Structure 1
């Protein structure tokens, strides 16, 4: 560890603010680190509990109400919250009006909301409302939902968007409990990342409680005409009425996933594990909001073939929600651990072949990401330096797949049994706290590597570019057979359909993604005529097929129309970004822009921000 890292580690101690006495002075030991993506100064004054009281107005598309915080004050005369594109009407300290001010606006960070308090102030209350620039919230009209009858709303807080719908200290190192009262139209139901209702209330008022401390990015709200179906006593699904039965069937193995996860790394700490399937504009495959994972409808394939996303979000209940990255520079600690854990859950449920196929697809994603960062190799470090950048820039395959490969390589080095003991202890010892990369390295050295009497190039993995040469090589006999199938088709210009009759989604994805660079439109037509891939109802298969169609100028089977339909009805950022990137790389930006101009209004702001950059779009 170099001097810079040693200094950083000293600053990131997670213990409560304390004092070490010398003869004439006291030296404060800081609980919180300085981080570039929040204006909060939590070492001076910090929030500990939120009581949220809000009204959801679909006609005006505004959320309004109060955010009341219990605070801990370390002898300060002010407290700073993060706010972005909010109207702050007034602020109270212990029930009395107090002065406040909003600082200069930053495009990514918003504004510091400085509130004057007394040294003995225990509570502050902010009266506020959202605006039409609130990025976390997406308001959907009935036509943008599955049932086409009622409007819908959902929020997406990661990474720093919670401040756009709640004034809050929006840093992952700050953990709070919360209560909420939410009033919505009586024909709709509200659910949150908290204890949730199972049926609609008569008057549209809902009360929520989150008793475990969570970071602000995990605050989440959804409002719509939804219903609940249990899978087990502690797992279940929410969805629009026309979808809820199919969702329950698709995710019917959720309880089995929880059981296998607990066997690996200890008791599930959040009591309930439910999933809500949102309208198609939700920008991610899933979001691990505690007690209520938000998920995309693109997971509903009819054969449970895409449920590794649910395993991933469940794994976040340990890595991310239980032990959280201290700053967004440490994001790999959330996602790398989660991909590894997801892979172990999938292996336990479906076997090593399935896990290896998922691992190899992840490796392919990683190699493509590393290639894409050739001009900025520092972005392929696990520990990032995102100062001056939006933390969303670090949310890519590096954190996920290089992090997974780092842990997989460690497992192979020390043995699975030792590695599982280490990880279980890591989660239990650091539960409901935050973790820096430097502290994790220290824990890794002390509790695993030194005890196992092995050396490992940890710093190369964490602080250097690319993938180290000692990375574990994942192999799959099934994928070797897929490669042979591709070679046979290209050589003979014909297809043996029987070879593929028992293929999983992973085999299909690997098949399509590994077409040779010089494949011709004629050869793609042979494949499409045999398998009807242009009309696939499996979203992942469709996405990779459409990507290849764009790249190789395949126009058969009305595929251009199918691509446009896909991009105007699906809002999952990974999927649509892949296709718009394919348009850009194939010098077909105009084609991509023509579709994007139609689809853009249906996308969440998270997706819009990415695609605007990809296509160079300006309003």
Structure 2
């Protein structure tokens, strides 16, 4: 334990150069030489070519007076010209070189300048296969008449549609002029005007500095309906009313979070409901969270996702991890704040159930990953995929650590501490070392007996979950355990279990507690009682279809196929693909489904499914 205490002291006293976690091994950029301070986009949206084309104008701030190169991140961009100037002088064409493409990181763009110009303008076009853009034909939308396009920039996909410094350590403001077909509405992670006319010519401003992964764009048949004076929903006309009803508590969520952690600093907070192909549950693009329609359950049982994306307005968007090694500073904080919002609005009972489910998922994930990836302070891993950090360790272990601190210090001390962290680091990118220093000076020094430095470092640098981690229990889950046991041990038939008042959280817990496999006739009984096959609840489907496949309950396959072809959210569909890929017959079935589903999948989802299927096909026959 003394060694861990020494490690914390060492981390907090090392020279900055020795412990600098701002360095980003996932970017070619050199922000220690020059930084982007403002970005101006002028782009045309071409649905026929599946392309954005135009210019990006970068306002530069030079840090090294000897520097004469600007190095940017790109992926599959066609660069036609680069120009530079200072002030309002005439643009001058300058030399540039696009390096050979790296499969993971794209191509380094090196712009050679004869002097330190204030502005650089790049003329370019995106690829139809841009990893950060999805183009949907009208047939893949709710209305069936208008095409749809949207972006997903996290973690390093912004470089596939804008040439920039694609690292969370660099923040910049931006403006944009976006041209679309006249019938299409365009939106961005910026100042979207609910009353803007639909005319194919749109301008946007983002006055707050953001990192590249929060750049976002969408275009389609989109309409707006308000929830409150500062919050509302953008969606296709066929979806918007359901979304407004489902997410009607959004303004209450904003107010609760403000009461805990200070004012909302982004102006409006709107939700954009995307088609089902969106690869994630949500994306916290500032002012305009992108949301999957799979959380419109009809009973508000999945609105914690809205609480999560809103919470990012403080943790992640306001204070950002400086590199993906410290992803927990974004997602762990956000998952903790999400749970506090849920508790305030829906009660501690529901918040505890969600904590238990997430921690069960964390434990399952830890069984599949090596110890060195189970720490909050990840080591630098050159050549690694930054999306490897987007897992339960960052989200749920991070939130668990913060709950541990809350319980040890008490909310009366911890809530002001967390607000001070947000206030003191607003619109900055931060590292774990900065948080540890802040924790030591602002919380631990005031109550030295509450938490030891060794306990802190056990969370930060040791694999697994510390033995002293606080346990969360749910009386309602105890009742679910009893019901499941009654059925498994043949004391009650499935139809006789008292489940009428169960929420999604209880059904998830019920299914996750089942044996790995069961006799097919047992699943028939469950299905007849609860109609799991064909469910419209993605969280239940995510658990039911893998169990069905492992148990050879093949009657579920037609509905499973429809689910996999309709939904592109990775969290929901990957467990079923994994279960299918475990057998030769299942792998063949999964491959057939994917061929049908691929046109509607986002490139991020396609890459995940293709990697899984390729690995399964390369494995020895089963």
Aligned to 2:399: 404
2:471 is paired with a residue of what secondary structure?
A: coil
Whole-angstrom distance in 2 between the partners of 1:3 and 1:103: 42
1:332 partnered with 2:328:
yes
Aligned to 2:479: 481
Aligned to 1:597: 595
Aligned to 1:23: none
2:202 is paired with a residue of what secondary structure?
A: strand
- 1:380-391 matches, within 5 Å, as 380-385=374-379, 386-391=381-386
Change over 3 Å in CA distance of 1:200–1:224 after alignment to 2: farther
Aligned to 2:71: 80
Which of 430, 438, 462 is 2:433 aligned to? 438
8 Å contact kept, 1:567–1:599: yes
8 Å contact kept, 1:188–1:200: no
Give the superposition deviation at 1:585: 4.1
1:533 is paired with a residue of what secondary structure?
A: coil
Change over 3 Å in CA distance of 1:458–1:299 after alignment to 2: same
Give the superposition deviation at 1:283: 0.3
Give the superposition deviation at 1:555: 2.8
TM-score (norm 2): 0.93
Whole-angstrom distance in 2 between the partners of 1:613 and 1:7: 43
Give the superposition deviation at 1:594: 2.5
1:416 partnered with 2:411:
yes
Aligned to 2:203: 207
Give the superposition deviation at 1:7: 8.0
Whole-angstrom distance in 2 between the partners of 1:359 and 1:309: 13
1:480 is paired with a residue of what secondary structure?
A: helix
How many residues align structurally? 598
1:610 partnered with 2:608:
yes
Give the superposition deviation at 1:199: 4.5
1:348 is paired with a residue of what secondary structure?
A: helix
1:222 is paired with a residue of what secondary structure?
A: strand
Change over 3 Å in CA distance of 1:441–1:585 after alignment to 2: farther
2:243 is paired with a residue of what secondary structure?
A: helix
Once the two structures are overlaid, the 10-residue window that deviates more, 4-13 or 262-271, is 4-13
Give the superposition deviation at 1:498: 6.2
Question: After superposition, what is the alpha-carbon deviation per residue over 1:307-333, rounded to whole angstroms, capped at 9, x for unaligned?
Answer: 110000000000100000000001111
Whole-angstrom distance in 1 between the partners of 2:187 and 2:248: 21
8 Å contact kept, 2:138–2:144: yes
Question: After superposition, what is the alpha-carbon deviation per residue over 1:151-181, rounded to whole angstroms, capped at 9, x for unaligned?
Answer: 1000000000000000001110100000000
Question: After superposition, what is the alpha-carbon deviation per residue over 1:411-448, rounded to whole angstroms, capped at 9, x for unaligned?
Answer: 11111221111101111111000111111111112211
Give the superposition deviation at 1:503: 0.9
8 Å contact kept, 2:271–2:288: yes
Whole-angstrom distance in 2 between the partners of 1:428 and 1:370: 33
Give the superposition deviation at 1:5: 4.2
1:79 is paired with a residue of what secondary structure?
A: strand
Question: After superposition, what is the alpha-carbon deviation per residue over 1:496-549, rounded to whole angstroms, capped at 9, x for unaligned?
Answer: 556111111101111111113453222221111111111322221122111221
8 Å contact kept, 2:517–2:550: no
Which of 91, 103, 112 is 1:116 aligned to? 112
8 Å contact kept, 2:184–2:198: no
Aligned to 2:83: 92
Higher relative contact order (CA 8 A, sep 6+): 2
Aligned to 1:246: 242
8 Å contact kept, 1:461–1:468: yes
1:340 is paired with a residue of what secondary structure?
A: helix
Whole-angstrom distance in 1 between the partners of 2:597 and 2:552: 22
8 Å contact kept, 1:55–1:183: yes
Give the superposition deviation at 1:613: 2.1
1:139 partnered with 2:135:
yes
Aligned to 1:509: 508
Whole-angstrom distance in 1 between the partners of 2:10 and 2:608: 33
Whole-angstrom distance in 2 between the partners of 1:484 and 1:531: 17
Question: After superposition, what is the alpha-carbon deviation per residue over 1:210-269, rounded to whole angstroms, capped at 9, x for unaligned?
Answer: 000000100000000010000000000010011111111111110000001111111011
Aligned to 1:153: 149
Which of 264, 268, 271 is 1:272 aligned to? 268
Give the superposition deviation at 1:495: 2.5
Change over 3 Å in CA distance of 1:12–1:447 after alignment to 2: farther
Question: After superposition, what is the alpha-carbon deviation per residue over 1:588-614, rounded to whole angstroms, capped at 9, x for unaligned?
Answer: 333322222221232111112222222
Aligned to 2:3: none
Whole-angstrom distance in 2 between the partners of 1:34 and 1:303: 44
Which of 201, 223, 227 is 1:227 aligned to? 223
Whole-angstrom distance in 1 between the partners of 2:488 and 2:437: 51
Question: After superposition, what is the alpha-carbon deviation per residue over 1:278-336, rounded to whole angstroms, capped at 9, x for unaligned?
Answer: 11110000000000000111011111111110000000000100000000001111000
- 1:297-312 matches, within 5 Å, as 297-312=293-308
Give the superposition deviation at 1:41: 0.8
Change over 3 Å in CA distance of 1:517–1:164 after alignment to 2: closer
Whole-angstrom distance in 1 between the partners of 2:328 and 2:582: 28
Whole-angstrom distance in 1 between the partners of 2:14 and 2:368: 30
8 Å contact kept, 2:134–2:151: yes
1:364 partnered with 2:353:
no
TM-score (norm 1): 0.93
**Cα RMSD between the aligned structures?**
1.9
8 Å contact kept, 2:36–2:59: yes
Aligned to 2:577: 580
Which of 185, 188, 196 is 1:189 aligned to? 185
Whole-angstrom distance in 2 between the partners of 1:7 and 1:57: 53
1:562 partnered with 2:572:
no
Once the two structures are overlaid, the 10-residue window that deviates more, 125-134 or 278-287, is 125-134
Which of 373, 377, 380 is 2:371 aligned to? 377
Whole-angstrom distance in 2 between the partners of 1:517 and 1:127: 54
Change over 3 Å in CA distance of 1:315–1:9 after alignment to 2: farther
Gaps of 5+ in 2: 1-6, 86-90
8 Å contact kept, 1:79–1:114: yes
8 Å contact kept, 2:224–2:240: yes
8 Å contact kept, 2:68–2:116: no
Aligned to 1:62: 51
Whole-angstrom distance in 1 between the partners of 2:568 and 2:253: 27
2:494 is paired with a residue of what secondary structure?
A: coil
